[in-house]
Amino acid sequence: MKILILKLVLTPALIGMATLASRRWGQAVGGWLVGLPLTSGPIAFILALEHGSSFASAAAIGSLAGALAEVAFCVAYAWVAVRASWPPALMAGSAAFALVGAVMQHATIPIVALTALVCAGLALALRALPTHRAVVRRVPAPPWELPARMVSATVVVLLITGFAASLGPRLSGILATYPVYAATLTVFAHRAGPGPAVQVLRGLLLGLFAFAGFFLILGLSLSRAGVAMAFGLAIAGALLIQGASLALVMRSGGQQNLQGGNSRE
């Protein structure tokens, strides 16, 4: 019962705070924030409580592998977005995620090497994103937007943790990384044009360095330090990396967002 309450409270609270922050500070900062494991982190924590440290550690490696699928999502969505509306862009991004996720499901790579591969993929993806100047124009958010984001993320947590035993730790970890919230944020930004959507995706890619750090620390420490200590170390490491990446977010367009973020939603 306590774990169910945790599932129903933790994820929507994190998603709600991230949404309000993106409304206040803009699209690139919003994408950067959702690079943190706001959905996959709670899933990993719940898996550790329900299935033990070994299961959660294997799921953490799966989430690291899933980060490469997120990279593919960002690049595919961005390049389709500059030529088409959000539905084909979202389909292209999701197809790229599924393709890379399927490959990584069967790839056996040590966790440190996998983290290095993720970081290299992020660096290449940042260079590969199209350059598209954001056009700042007001697109009011519908009243159901925030509740829809919170509900969708919570449903993902409930489904993955509910079927984790059948899915196995690796696939559970990969599925947990599908960017439900980031995709929603990108689609809503896309309503104002491809520029804001690309800004969200660029911010997301920069934020995923902290994601990689989180799951590297978690995968290495869960079986040795226990659940509480491992998650404490992983959160601390992710926050340090996330803070260091803020300068890059600002350089890539976050400063403009901070000045004009209130006019977008």
pLDDT band at 95 (very low <50, low <70, confident <90, very high): very high
41: enclosing H helix or E strand: helix 40-51
DSSP assignment string, 60-123: HHHHHHHHHHHHHHHHHHHHHHTTS-HHHHHHHHHHHHHHHHHHHHT----HHHHHHHHHHHHH
pLDDT band at 81 (very low <50, low <70, confident <90, very high): very high
Q: Give the pLDDT confidence of 181-237 residue by residue, as tens digits.
A: 778 778 878 887 888 888 889 888 988 999 999 999 999 998 888 888 999 999 999
Query: For residue 159, what pLDDT is reported?
Result: 76
Q: Give the pLDDT confidence of 13-35 residue by residue, as tens digits.
A: 766 776 676 666 666 666 667 66
pLDDT band at 261 (very low <50, low <70, confident <90, very high): very low
Start-to-end Cα distance in the chain = 37
d(CA 254, CA 31): 10
Percentage of residues in the chain with pLDDT exceeding 90?
A: 30
